[in-house]
Amino acid sequence: MSVAHAGEFGLIARVTARLPEAPNTLLGPGDDAAVVTASDGRVVASTDVLVEGRHFRRDWCSAEDVGHRAAAANLADIVAMGARPTALLVALCSPPDLAATWAEELADGLAAEAVLVGAGVVGGDMSASPTLTIAVTALGDLEGRAPVLRTGARPGDIVAVAGRIGYAAAGYTVLSRGFRTPKLLVDAYRRPQVAYLAGPRAAVAGATSMIDVSDGLLADLGHIARASSVGINVRRDAFVVPAQMRDAASALGVDPMTWMLGGGDDHAFAATFPPHVTLPEGWQAVGAVTEGADVTVDGRPYRDGPAGWDHFRAAGPQS
């Protein structure tokens, strides 16, 4: 059965019925809108879009993989504010001949990723489109904390990261060269393993700024640097290249540091902390906030590769 023959309401009902209800949900799918509680009166919200051919390829990723990726991209944005994700809203725009089973498997991936943070899908919509597109909106709860913004970094702060760095970018390169191994790297591209607990832990520990590394570590640290009117210096020796990544880089003729400094699909987190703070579990110091306005590596401008992903200039799937 195709999506077109399944019918909009019927398929949405079938898809959302496969998903767990979020604990914060008072009213789930089936009405004109959902009702979600917000414990302290504030709601953190973020939206991300995945377009086939631009952000994913069906010959590289299963429908379930795409569901994981779509959910992770949005949940990570909520976590990067220091909040706890509570709910997802999903819109699917698909060619009429897309199999209904593909949409159901997409829902399975969304559900499995949402379960990791105790969230659920509370509604969605469908439309016909010549290009397969998944749009996800995530909601979150600050649980009484102040949001961690990009504007709070100060000279002297510690720059730290949490989560995997470079794995997904390496997997993307492997796939783009026509290979399917090493499995560790390819799987990291297909389904990111996000350190969801890192964001709230950083907020509680007093992080002065934070960001989801979705476009590349240097590029996203650049967002913090510009928002906070500071410089940021990253140390190469703070990063340990995993053995499989090192071996794959050698075989492909790539400097693995270009993946670690410029890759973003792992949805790691970067944050700045006051110099006296003990970094929370899962966070590793990789540099320092300085006077100035640039992001440097070992005190110099980075010239060894792209600093990150450009959504309007780069080609190929990325999130």
Helix (H) or strand (E) holding 162: strand 158-162
Sheet of 44-51, strand order: 44-51, 133-141, 84-94, 120-128
Long-range contacts from 35-39, C-beta under 8 angstroms, 24+ separation: 36/86, 36/87, 36/122, 36/139, 37/86, 38/141, 39/141, 39/143, 39/144
CA gap 135, 137 in Å, rounded:
7
In eight-state DSSP terms, residue 157 is P
Q: Is 310 annotated as a binding residue?
A: no
Q: Is 125 annotated as a binding residue?
A: yes
Q: Is 214 annotated as a binding residue?
A: yes
Q: Is 46 annotated as a binding residue?
A: yes
In eight-state DSSP terms, residue 304 is S
Unique residue bearing structure tokens 């290249």: 241
Q: Is 215 annotated as a binding residue?
A: yes
Q: Is 265 annotated as a binding residue?
A: yes
Q: Is 47 annotated as a binding residue?
A: yes
CA gap 245, 11 in Å, rounded:
41
Q: Is 32 annotated as a binding residue?
A: yes
Residues placed in the known binding site for Mg(2+): 32, 46-48, 77, 125, 212, 215
Residues placed in the known binding site for substrate: 55, 265, 309
Residues placed in the known binding site for ATP: 124-125, 150, 214
Residues placed in the known binding site: 32, 46-48, 55, 77, 124-125, 150, 212, 214-215, 265, 309
